Every structure is written in C-alpha cells, then in structure tokens.
C-alpha cells in the first residue's frame, strides 16, 4: 500500500495530500473536502508512510496494518472510529495480534480506524499488486520477436532503397561574368 505524499497535521482534522512545495511551506489538499491550504514549517506534520504501530517484536508500518484491514474487510470500510473502546481494540487485536497494548493508546487506535476509513472514502486506499516477472521462455520469445522485427524492418528498408532509382545530379551551369 502506498501512502506517499499523504500527511497528518497536528491540530487540523483529517488527512492531507501534498500538492506543491514553497520556500517555507507546503500546499496541501484535504482528502475530505478538497480544499487547498498552506502548511507551514511551524506545523507538526507527520507523513503516514513514516508512522508505525508498536508491537512486541518489530514495529509494524501503518501501511501494512491498513493492508491487513483491507484484506480482512475485502476492500470495504472498517468499523467507525466512534465505536466503543473494546470493539476497536478487539478488532485491532484480530488484525494485529501482537500490538503492544500498553504503548499504543486508545487515541492512536481511533486514529488508525479514522484514517483507514478516510483513505477508503477518498479512493487513496489502493493495494499495490506485485508485478509478475516474465518467465525465461517469455523472455526468449520476446527477444526473438524483437530480432525478427529488426530484420524485417532492415530488409524492407533495403528493398525500398533498391527500388527507387537515384536521381542524377544536374550539372552546374557556368555563369560567365562580363566586365564592361
């Protein structure tokens, strides 16, 4: 899941997409209503791609958590962030069973679900499918097609050159200058 360019600004509700960058600010667009506003260097800005969730082993990136929720919901919306505490924490335990319940506060859990649903609503929640590498047979076939095409093009250009007769150059006319 690619969260590049999506940020959260402390003190401002919702998520924002970075549109442009100035000398001392960023121009961001709200994912909720599409309004563009400046975000200054004094604002506390967090890029979603840099956020991770504490677990008992290695921290889990937010994009992986969103991807797991996306798969669990078959591309649908997650529970609302306004649900009660036990519902949201139990759901997060299903999705991420080893998250550190002491270091991940309930306000963080609410943000995870709020941001997921906001990204889903705005259409920015897209799972990247890994590109399938072509097999060795497909590579050989593609290489032969390219070589054959080059030969055909070369032959057709040679035939074209033979069929068109070359024009003889006209002799230059001598101009005599008369001096009076």
Express each pLDDT in 130-161 by its tens digit: 554 545 445 544 454 444 445 544 555 555 55
Classify 61 as helix, strand or coil.
Answer: strand
Q: Which domains does the chain have, with CATH numbers?
A: 6-122 (1.10.10.1650)
pLDDT, residue 149, reads 46
- Distance, CA of 161 to CA of 43 (rounded, Å): 68
Name every residue whose Cβ is closer than 8 Å to that of residue 132 and which is 6 or more positions away in sequence.
Answer: none
Percent of the chain's residues with pLDDT above 90: 60
pLDDT at 178 over 70: no
Model pLDDT for residues 21-59, shown as the tens digit of each residue: 988 899 999 999 999 999 998 999 999 999 999 999 999
Euclidean distance between CA atoms 80 and 150, whole angstroms: 59
Report the predicted TM-score, pTM, of the whole model to 2 decimal places: 0.69
């Amino acid at each position: 899941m690619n969260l590049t360019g999506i940020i959260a600004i402390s003190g401002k509700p919702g998520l924002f997409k970075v549109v442009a960058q100035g000398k001392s600010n960023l121009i961001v667009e709200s994912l909720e209503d599409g309004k563009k506003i400046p975000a200054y260097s004094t604002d506390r800005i967090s890029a979603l791609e840099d956020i991770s969730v504490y677990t008992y082993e290695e921290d889990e990136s937010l994009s992986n958590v969103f991807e797991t929720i996306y798969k669990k919901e078959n591309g649908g919306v997650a529970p609302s962030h306004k649900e009660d505490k036990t519902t949201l924490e139990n759901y997060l335990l299903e999705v991420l069973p080893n998250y550190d319940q002491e270091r991940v506060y309930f306000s963080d859990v609410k943000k995870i679900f709020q941001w997921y649903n906001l990204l889903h609503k705005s259409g920015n929640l897209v799972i990247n499918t890994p590109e399938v590498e072509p097999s060795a047979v497909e590579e050989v076939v593609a290489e032969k097609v390219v070589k054959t095409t080059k030969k055909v093009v070369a032959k057709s250009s040679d035939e074209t050159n033979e069929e068109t007769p070359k024009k003889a150059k006209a002799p230059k006319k001598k101009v005599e200058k008369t001096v009076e």
